[in-house]
Structure 1
């Protein structure tokens, strides 16, 4: 049985010492592919390097994560767009625009800048017909307001790290070919997702993710997360939906193939 981790930051410092072993453990756990989002300009290079080191196993995305949006966003966007244009001229390796979105959880200091950056990156997704990898915290109304303007031009994407309620899920699922990225929070004892997801979200609208090195699932909670642990998320989804693990793997793999064009 194989499955895909659609969101892991394997390029960060936390994996500097043992990334080869992390990759081996992921493969042994059944992880067939891993998708890596960029979060800022420097991480575009580090993500691409990991993907060169592990070709056809790790796949890169390009984006400016909302928490990384600062006063220099225009210059950052200009440089990212140049990289994106150049890559497309040479058969682009990028599989998505991400990680992008809005995050007003800690601060609204750069609220207007975040709104501008997110809309610009939605436009990139339309221009290049790439899916979006979307991060959203405490900003769903603002995010949906922007997305609705491009609803019929977008090819799809993932609402990453979904932890919302049934009403929030329903709003997201109004967007065709968008799915919810489900990770370690599902396994937490306090999580309502185990009941809410089966109540309103078909498995055909879910993909697996870890968000490594963050948000490790039970029984690894509090430790460094890694892609191998996506198996714990799959196991909990199977229990919550009362189906076999093989069914969850098969359906989520089909969802990834539909959105990203990448198969196990």
Structure 2
């Protein structure tokens, strides 16, 4: 059984003390594929070091996270462009709009989102979307950019059934993680109305740990809890969930 964590920040400072042991715990459970989203240029070296250490298991994205769109965002976007021309990446992400923490950079976030979608199209890569308190704003950009060359993953999907269908309509898979195990997470109530071909698994480690680890540091090994929850929702064996969602990840990332 091979499981795929389509979104995990393995380079995070939260894993500074035990990164290798944490990754080994996941590998031992059959979680063999780790897709690593970018945040900003300050993490690039740590991401490259991770890839060098685990070349068979780690896949890197390039991008500027919406909460890191600040005064220097043009400079950061230039770094993303430069890296894309120099290295091989599997996606542009995580990108999008986040209005939870700060609304003052909305226009810059919208600009950065569109610019990075254009880069994804230029390099024939999927996008990985971060959306928090910003479904309308994200969908507005996707509507402007929609087409056969726009596809990817709606990371950490927490919306309604209607929003899920809308995202799928833009050729997005839904990244499902720990929220599916929360009592108030809500998405577990309608996921079975969507074909599992639209779903990929993720942890977003070190954030959003699933039950029974909620509130603690998340890690990729806990992807098993998410997979087990989906097995219950879709009434299918865990191995089948692992196989289907891993195939779905290959369809998106091409690896």
TM-score by length of 2: 0.97
Aligned to 1:118: 113
* Cα offset, 1:253, TM superposition: 1.1
Unaligned runs of 5+ in 1: none
Say yes or no: does 1:95 pair with 2:90: yes
Aligned-pair CA distance for 1:153 = 4.2
Question: Is 1:24 matched with 2:19?
Answer: no
- Aligned equivalents of 1:246, 1:155: Cα separation in 2: 30
CA distance in 1, matches of 2:225, 2:119: 34
Matches within 5 A, 1:127-206: 127-176=122-171, 178-199=172-193, 201-206=194-199
User: What is the SS of the residue equivalent to 2:232?
Assistant: helix
CA deviation vs aligned residue, 1:126-168 (integer Å, no higher than 9, x gap): 0000010100111112211211222214252100000111111
Alignment length, in residue pairs?
255
Which of 212, 217, 220 is the aligned partner of 1:219? Answer: 212
1:66 has 2:62 as partner: no
**How far apart, CA to CA, are the structure 2 residues paired with 1:35 and 1:223?**
21
Give the C-alpha shift of residue 180 in structure 1: 0.2
Q: Greater CA deviation, 162-171 or 225-234?
A: 162-171
2:203 equivalent in structure 1: 210
Instruction: Please provide the CA RMSD for this pair.
Output: 1.1
Contact residue 8 and residue 209 of structure 1 kept, 8 A:
yes
Rounded to whole Å, the distance in 1 between the matches of 2:198 and 2:176 is: 10
Higher mean displacement: 2-11 or 139-148: 139-148
CA contact (8 A) 1:8 1:210 kept: yes
User: Structure 1 length normalisation: TM-score?
Assistant: 0.94
Contact 1:155 1:259 in 2 (8 A): no
Runs of 4+ in 1 over 4 A off after TM superposition: none
1:251 aligns with 2:252: no
Query: Unaligned regions of 5+ residues in structure 2, if any?
Result: none
Query: Which secondary structure state, in structure 1, belongs to the residue aligned with residue 214 of structure 2?
Result: coil
